[in-house]
Amino acid sequence: MKLVDSFGNKVSAGNRTALDFYERAVGQLALYRGDPMATIDESLANDPSFVMGHCFKAGLLATTSELGAESGIASALDAAGRHIGHAVERERMHLGAAHAWLSRDFAGAAKLYGDICAEYPRDLLALQFAHLFDFLLGNSTMLRDRPAQVLHAWPDLDARRGQVLGMYAFGLEECGAYDEAEALGRRAVELNPADVWAVHSVAHVFEMRGQNQSGVDWINRTALGWREHNFFAFHNYWHLALFHADNCDYAAALEVYDSCIRPQSTRVAGEMVDASAMLWRLRLRNVDTGDRWTELAASWEALGDEGYYAFNDVHAIMAFLATGNHRQVVRILSALEAAARRSDTNGMMSREVGLPMANALCAFERRDYEVAIDELQRVRAHAQRFGGSHAQRDLLHLTVTEAALRAGRRSLARALIEERLSRKPRNDFNLSLLTRARDLPHEESMQVAREALHHV
């Protein structure tokens, strides 16, 4: 007779100890705490034939969005394959989803994990994998809809309901339902103060509304519940740094960067993405960031993941542009060009957003602002296709706005800034941009001046 996990799902575990370690790993991953990979290794040490344990490893490695994880995914799938004979159907579905990711059908993997959720709505692991892949792919509606599809299976008294609510809150926020997202996110945190993802969902609401001080207070007030031994805490602190930056408190933003976002050099792609995104925003504002770019660029170079996931490549090229490393810039561009010729998911992401954006950043760096404006304006409407959240992709809007200001495009700059102010009317940084735009000469005056110079 097959064992059943605490969610009511059959598993192929041969003994209760292996299953207990597996469930502990699922709980750790749900809260981004501890070392779920080490815990699942304990599970497999007790039962090497436990297929779901190998599925856990493969899926967790895939969520890193790193090329270097492929060998580990392949190894986990090979191990699972050796014991496929006694796998239950749900485990076979997990294997199919992980195989899709390994074949670089990222969109297919997200869909297949979503299929598991539909068939087994109390598979928290499948829901989390589907949710994270939807995030990596920028699938805003599915970030909302997959948790909505399974919420009925998690009653009010269920201890894990809050984690489903936290995911649902993030999806609602990405779809613009800010009031409902904030309410559900807060409820999830009430149910479990360690729910770092739910805290993150509410932080996104404050970011999109431009409620910077509320965001600062929220992160600081809830931090005691989630900051320790948490491998997602850096991202919540990235939001804290964003709030400080939009308050024009750049010293505070850099202090958070040094203490919580990048306290030490790592080669973890997700951490490096946030580091690049923060430093680039400060660079657009001419904030002195010292030698922080140098350390970060060295880490991107050592990672060597170019051509695997366009969202990472774009953030890597920021570091190489900031440090003037032309050789690495060319390497990233070449990898994006090669990826854009492929038919897999990253081929689409590179072709439609990643490569044009990288070219725009290069143009911005060489002060060819008109080219940067053209490229960024062309991709803005479908930038979600290369992944991330609205808050992360705001970097495109910030860059094109700065390009318009530096190019003296007064009308365009004013239009872009008014767009920002329509969402965040009391944002200090946006108001400073408006002042800059108003101080620009009218285009007609500039044209007269250019013509006068031409005739001299």
Q: What is the pLDDT of residues 51-108, one digit of tens each?
A: 999 999 999 999 999 999 999 999 999 999 999 998 999 999 999 999 999 999 999 9
On average, the pLDDT of the chain sits at 96
Residue 177 has pLDDT above 80, yes or no: yes
Q: What angle do CA 371, 377, 382 make, to 5 degrees?
A: 135
What gap in Å lies between CA 332 and CA 436, rounded to an integer?
33
User: Is it the case that residue 443 has pLDDT exceeding 70?
Assistant: no
Q: Tell me the Ramachandran region of residue 8: left when phi exceeds 0, alpha when psi lies from -120 to 50, beta otherwise.
A: left
pLDDT tens digits, one per residue of 178-234: 999 999 999 999 999 999 999 999 999 999 999 999 999 999 999 999 999 999 999
Tokens of 119: 């068939």
Task: Determine the pLDDT at residue 2.
Answer: 84
Q: Evaluate whether 140 touches 175 at the Cβ level (below 8 Å).
A: yes
3-state secondary structure of 305: coil
pLDDT of res. 449: 46
- Please name each of the domains of the chain with its CATH number: 1-127 (1.25.40), 139-232 (1.25.40)
pLDDT value for 94: 98
**Whether pLDDT at 126 is above 90:** yes
Distance CA 185, CA 206 (A): 12
Q: Output the CA angle 185-188-194, nearest 5 degrees.
A: 110
Sign of CA dihedral 11, 13, 14, 18: negative
Amino acid at 260: C
pLDDT at res. 442:
85
* CA distance readout (Å), 173 to 145, 203, 299, 384, 435: 12, 10, 32, 15, 30
Q: Distance (Å, rounded) from C-alpha 363 to C-alpha 375?
A: 9
Residues 168/147, Cβ–Cβ less than 8 Å: yes
Position 4 scores a pLDDT of 96
> What pLDDT is stored for residue 452 in this prediction?
47
**Six-digit token string for 341:** 């010729």
- Work out the pLDDT band at 353, boundaries 50, 70, 90: very high
Spatial separation of the C-alpha atoms in residues 236 and 12, rounded to whole Å? 36
Give the confidence band of 333 by pLDDT, cuts at 50, 70, 90.
very high
Please report the pLDDT score of residue 340 as a whole number: 98
Residue 430 has pLDDT above 70, yes or no: yes
Cβ within 8 Å of residue 401, ≥6 positions away: 413, 416, 417, 420, 433
453: confidence class by pLDDT, cuts 50, 70, 90: very low
Decide: 372 and 400 in contact? Cβ < 8 Å: yes
Q: What is the pTM of this model?
A: 0.95
Q: Which two tokens stand for residue 438?
A: 């108003």
